[in-house]
Amino acid sequence: MKDRLGAVLRPAQERYLDRLLPPRDGLLREMEEQARQEQIPIPAPEVGRLLQTMARSTGARRILELGTAIGYGTVCLARGAAAARVISIDPDGALQTVARGYLERAEVADRVELVEGELPAVLPTLSGPFDLVYVNAVEAEYRRVLDQLLTQMPVGATLIFDNLLWRGQVAEPPPDGGEAQADAMRAFNGYLMIHPQLESVILPLAGGVGIATKSKPLILEMGGPF
């Protein structure tokens, strides 16, 4: 969710864009309210709409989500790609239990596999390829996660990373130096934008969203190193 109004965009612009968002259905509004009350990190509503749009427009058949929480992003992804299989990973089994209830109410649970575990342990056990990946997890792990994911994604696959502008602190650190997460995001953003196998863009949407397409195969995929 957005940390505060005006963290990335000027307040007037942000209020205008918020007013343009179509109303969410009752299920998503309920999830947003639970997340607000319990301080659970879920995608902002506009990011949820982006996820649903990207899932539909890419024609994804196998989708991976890193960071289930209560399943807000999972519902959006599954709704967007009606024929897709979604795998969602989170270390918090209690939150995934809540997510399962929401997924059942959204009538997408039969196409979603919830995996409980820490990313470094779970990612090597997954069997790709994945057409679309959404990452909303521990920011300090983003670079390692990206390197692991690219081996399981074909050329043309899409990655979406959330929170890349980290409360506005990536571009404007506070006088006290800010948070370690902002430093991690600043380093990762540079890596994402210059990665030789990716075509990437970072958008000032909610907390900052990076979208990247795998444009070239890895050296290992071509039989290297040469």
Q: Would you kindly state where each structural domain of the chain is located, as residue ranges? A: 11-215
> How does residue 11 score in pLDDT terms, banded at 50, 70 and 90?
confident
Task: Name the residue with tokens 């990335």.
Answer: 8
Give the long-range contacts of residues 44-48, CB within 8 A, separation 24 or more: 44/1, 44/2, 44/205, 44/206, 44/207, 45/21, 46/17, 46/18, 46/21, 46/205, 46/206, 47/73, 47/162, 47/205, 47/206, 47/209, 48/24, 48/72, 48/73, 48/75, 48/76
> How does residue 226 score in pLDDT terms, banded at 50, 70 and 90?
low
Task: Name the residue with tokens 């957005």.
Answer: 2
Positive or negative, the CA dihedral 104, 110, 116, 122 is: negative
What is the mean predicted confidence (pLDDT) over 152-180?
86
pLDDT at 109: 97
pLDDT at 15: 87
What is the mean predicted confidence (pLDDT) over 181-199?
93
What is the mean predicted confidence (pLDDT) over 133-154?
92
User: How high is the mean pLDDT of the chain?
Assistant: 91
Q: Report the distance separating Cα 194 and Cα 60, nearest Å.
A: 25
Please list the residues that pair with 135 across neighbouring strands.
Answer: 66, 161
Question: Do the Cβ atoms of 108 and 82 come closer than 8 Å?
Answer: no
- Asked if the peptide bond before residue 45 counts as cis, ω within 30 degrees of 0, the response is no
On whether the 11-215 domain is CATH 3.40.50.150, my answer is yes
Q: Which two tokens stand for residue 88?
A: 């969602």
Q: pTM higher than 0.85 for the full model?
A: yes
